[in-house]
Amino acid sequence: MKQKKQMPQKQLLIIYLIDMKKKPVLFLDSGIGGIPYCKCFHQRNPGESIIYFADRLNFPYGKKEKGQLIEILTNLLENLIKTLNPKIMVLACNTASIASLSALRKSFPLLPIIGTVPAVKPAAIKSKTGKIGVLGTELTINEPYIRELAAKYGNAEIAGIAAPELVEFIENKITLSTDAEKKEIVNHYLKSFRKEGVDALVLGCTHFLFLQEFFQNEAKPDISVFDSLEGITRRIETALDEHSLWENKAHNAENYLLLSAETEPEAEWIGWADYLNFKISLIKDYE
């Protein structure tokens, strides 16, 4: 009689590669959008071990229903905590932060979780016309939260544009596009915002930071552009202070770009790992 083949327990493949004692700072997004936040923090704090997790199996987060996204992120973070032992997690996605930050903090009270909420507050405060533009995903634009922020801090009105096609462009074509193509797509959105009479524009999706310079240059002189990059980096550092989580000077940092995937990393992802100067690894099963 044949014995039943014992199925291996599901687990993250990279547990054999990463020293659990390192307690990394974990950055999480569905694609490349959170990379600018990760790079900014890494440049300022090279002694910290960092893991950037790209959940590309669930890309893009911006098209998910709120309840579905909360379920995806709760299950994912539960496994990442068990496997990677992070000391702090940065939800490096505006959409995911707006939709699930409260739920995740409630589910994981022992883990400091930093969200990347769109920079509506400073834009509302600085706006002179009282009308600010927000460029984001469908979920971000449809959430009452951003309008509540605008009303609270500047009694401002929001003109929102959902731009899932811009997320796709940045995720799949940004490294291959010319400056002329980038200017063209940026001006496409700026034209719409100018028609709305906005004088402050919030880049409400982390992906859009890859076009930050183009938005800044093309928006002048009538529109000021806001993002949360510097503010979030300072918030991570403050949280490390508050929880006494900084590494000692003798710490040998290890940095990884991890992908949820069923196929080997494409050349673009290897390029992003080189851009960060991180090691790259694959996670084929994390459920």
Q: Same domain, yes or no, for 236 and 112?
A: yes
pLDDT of residue 283: 66
pLDDT of residue 253: 87
Q: Same domain, yes or no, for 202 and 133?
A: yes
Q: Same domain, yes or no, for 206 and 125?
A: yes
Task: Give the structural domain span for 268.
Answer: 20-116+230-246+253-283
pLDDT of residue 152: 93
The answer, yes or no, to whether residue 86 has pLDDT greater than 90, is yes
pLDDT of residue 13: 43
Closest by CA position to 172, among listed 26, 33, 40: 33
Tell me the β-bridge partners of 224: 200
pLDDT of residue 105: 97
Catalytic residue among 89, 202, 205, 219: 205
Q: Tell me, yes or no, if the pTM score tops 0.85.
A: yes
**Predicted confidence (pLDDT) per residue in 169-228, tens digit:** 999 999 999 999 999 999 999 999 999 999 999 999 999 999 999 999 999 999 999 999
pLDDT of residue 265: 75
Q: Same domain, yes or no, for 78 and 129?
A: no
Band of pLDDT at residue 287, cut at 50, 70 and 90: very low
**CA–CA gap between residue 203 and residue 169 (Å, rounded):** 15
The answer, yes or no, to whether residue 11 has pLDDT greater than 90, is no
Residues 6+ apart with CB under 8 A from 274: none
Q: What order of strands is seen across the sheet that includes strand 25-29?
A: 113-115, 88-91, 25-29, 50-54, 255-260, 279-283
Residue 176, domain CATH: 3.40.50.1860
Residue 142 in domain: yes
The residue-averaged pLDDT of 134-157 equals: 93
* Residue 93 annotated in active site: yes
* Residue 205 annotated in active site: yes
Q: Same domain, yes or no, for 132 and 68?
A: no
What is the number of other CB atoms lying within 10 angstroms of the CB of residue 224? 19
Q: Same domain, yes or no, for 72 and 162?
A: no
Closest by CA position to 62, among listed 8, 139, 115: 139
The answer, yes or no, to whether residue 285 has pLDDT greater than 70, is no
Band of pLDDT at residue 4, cut at 50, 70 and 90: very low
pLDDT of residue 281: 82
Q: Which amino acid is at 86?
A: P
Band of pLDDT at residue 8, cut at 50, 70 and 90: very low
Q: Same domain, yes or no, for 107 and 124?
A: no
Distances (CA, A) of 60 to 95, 161, 181: 10, 17, 23
Residue 46 in domain: yes
Radius of gyration of the chain (CA): 20
User: What total number of domains does the chain contain?
Assistant: 2
Catalytic residue among 38, 51, 54, 93: 93
pLDDT of residue 256: 92
Residues 6+ apart with CB under 8 A from 224: 123, 126, 199, 200, 201
Q: Same domain, yes or no, for 240 and 215?
A: no
Q: Same domain, yes or no, for 170 and 75?
A: no
Q: Same domain, yes or no, for 142 and 276?
A: no
pLDDT of residue 18: 55
The residue-averaged pLDDT of 244-260 equals: 84
The residue-averaged pLDDT of 234-261 equals: 88
Between CA 111 and CA 121, with CA 116 as vertex, the angle to 5 degrees is 125
Residue 15 in domain: no
